Amino acid sequence: MKKRTRTKKQETRKTPPPATAAPTPTPSDAINCASWVSSQEAIRKGQDRFIAIWGEMGTSWGIPRTMAEVHALLYLAGEPLCTDDIMDRLHISRGSASMSVRSLLDWGVLSRVHKRGDRKEYFQAEQDVWRMFRTILRERKRREIDPVLMSLYECRDLTGPDSVGPEADRSNPAVHEHNERLDRMLEFMELVDTLADQFISPAGKGLRVAAGLLGKVM
């Protein structure tokens, strides 16, 4: 019986390729890795401090601390985050995270971001600081200045000609003094209202211009 001999081609096919040795880490690789870790830790500490400060400032403005902290996180993150990301980073409940996001959306300082293939909703904060503060001022004006101004008009009408008679302001010193005090307050609030409209106008460079002028004066 003849023995079957292997061809050179068959032997070549069965020969395993030589193993590729993994690159040996160099000292510079270790230094770069340590530097990256150190940078990430510094960024994390800076974020934590900013989030805490923003939360404290929010409470002084009458804004819930958690809402302000969520806004600070989304501003510094540099990329859209979902509700789960916010919960994990700030250690808050889903209800608290969702409520804060809804409020910030109402204020107009957040926007929704959709990622293809991902069913989660992502959120990103306004990155233009001037536009962000214009939006905040606009919302505060709507919630605070506008109602006060309307209430002052109502108070003034209570001692106006239609309520106490057309001659009461001149003939009754008490009515006259009362109306003068209200008129001074109204004049001031109307000026504040006009200035606020200039600052927060959509085209508005008013806030930036005002800040520049104040900087020169001071």
Confidence of residue 196 (pLDDT cuts 50, 70, 90): confident
- Relative to beta strand 121-125, strand 110-114 is antiparallel
A 10 A CB-CB count for 205 gives: 13
Asked whether the whole model's pTM tops 0.75, one would answer no
**Predicted confidence band at 6 (pLDDT cuts at 50, 70, 90)?**
low
CB burial readout 165-198, b (16+ within 10 A) else e: eeebbeeeeebeebbeebeeebeebeeeeeebee
pLDDT digits (tens, 9 = 90+) for 72-110: 999 999 899 999 999 999 999 999 999 999 999 999 999
Contact of 127 with 75, CB cutoff 8 Å: yes
pLDDT at 194 over 60: yes
Instruction: Point out which residues pair with 111 in neighbouring strands.
Output: 124
Each residue's pLDDT tens digit, 139-174: 989 999 999 999 999 999 998 887 777 776 677 888
Instruction: Fill in the amino acid letter for 186.
Output: L
